[in-house]
Chains A and B, each alone.
Chain A
Amino acid sequence: MAEVRLTDIRKRFGALEIIKGVDLSIEAGEFVVFVGPSGCGKSTLLRMIAGLEDISSGELTIGGAVMNDVDPSKRGIAMVFQSYALYPHMTVRENMGFALKFAGMAREEIDSRVNDAARILELEPLLDRKPKALSGGQRQRVAIGRAIVRNPLVFLFDEPLSNLDAELRVHMRVEIAKLHKELKSTVIYVTHDQVEAMTLADKIVVLRSGVVEQVGAPLELYDDPANTFVAGFIGSPRMNFLKGRVATVADGHVTVALTSQPEVALTLPIASTSVTTGDAVTLGIRPEHFLAQEKGDAELAVEVDVAEHLGNTSYVYAHVSDSERIIIEHADVRKIASRETLTIGIAASRSFLFDDDGNRIR
Chain B
Amino acid sequence: MNASRLFTAALQYVFLATAAFLSIFPFIWMVISSTNTSIDIISGRTGIGEAFATNVGNFFAQVDVPLVFWNSTKLAVLATLLTIVVSSLAGYGFEMFRSKARDRIYALVLLTLMVPFAALMIPLFMMMAKSGLINTHIAIMLPTIASAFIIFYFRQSTKAFQTELRDAAKVDGLKEWQIFLYIYVPVMRSTYAAAFVIVFMTNWNNYLWPLIVLQSNETKTITLVVSSLASAYYPDYGVVMIGTILATLPTLFVFFVMQRQFVQGMLGSVK
Interface residues of A (CB under 8 A from B): 47, 50-52, 71-74, 77-79, 81-83, 85-89, 98-99, 102-103
Task: Find out whether the CB atom of B164 lies under 8 angstroms from the CB atom of A98.
Answer: no
Q: How far is the CB of A89 from chain B (nearest CB, A)?
A: 4
- Interface residue tally on B, bucketed by range: 10 to 19
Task: Find out whether the CB atom of B187 lies under 8 angstroms from the CB atom of A79.
Answer: no
Residues of chain A with a CB closer than 8 A to B172's CB? 73, 98-99, 102
Residues of chain B with a CB closer than 8 A to A72's CB? 170-171, 173
Task: Find out whether the CB atom of A73 lies under 8 angstroms from the CB atom of B173.
Answer: yes
Task: Find out whether the CB atom of B168 lies under 8 angstroms from the CB atom of A85.
Answer: yes
Task: Find out whether the CB atom of B173 lies under 8 angstroms from the CB atom of A83.
Answer: no
Residues of chain B with a CB closer than 8 A to A83's CB? 162, 164
B residues 144-166 in Cβ contact with A at 8 Å: 162, 164-165
Residues of chain A with a CB closer than 8 A to B165's CB? 85, 87
Task: Find out whether the CB atom of A78 lies under 8 angstroms from the CB atom of B171.
Answer: yes
Distance A147 CA – B189 CA, assembled complex (angstroms):
27
Q: How many residue pairs between the two chains, A and B, have CB atoms under 8 Å in the bound complex?
A: 54
Distance A71 CA – B172 CA, assembled complex (angstroms):
10
Task: Find out whether the CB atom of B173 lies under 8 angstroms from the CB atom of A99.
Answer: yes
Interface SS of chain B: helix
Residues of chain A with a CB closer than 8 A to B168's CB? 79, 81, 85-87
- Knowing that A47-B167, A79-B167, A102-B173 touch, tell me 9 more A-B residue pairs with CB under 8 angstroms: A51-B171, A52-B167, A72-B170, A79-B171, A83-B162, A85-B168, A87-B168, A88-B187, A89-B186
Leading 10 A-B pairs by shortest Cβ distance: A73-B173, A99-B172, A85-B168, A85-B164, A89-B186, A81-B164, A72-B171, A72-B170, A83-B164, A79-B171
Distance A85 CA – B186 CA, assembled complex (angstroms):
15
Task: Find out whether the CB atom of B173 lies under 8 angstroms from the CB atom of A50.
Answer: no
- If A85-B162, A88-B187 touch, does A77 touch B173 (CB 8 Å cutoff)? no
Give per-residue flags for B38-79: 1 if the beta carbon is below 8 A from chain A beta carbons, else 0: 000000000000000000000000000000000000000000
Give per-residue flags for B157-195: 1 if the beta carbon is below 8 A from chain A beta carbons, else 0: 000001011011111111000100001001101000000
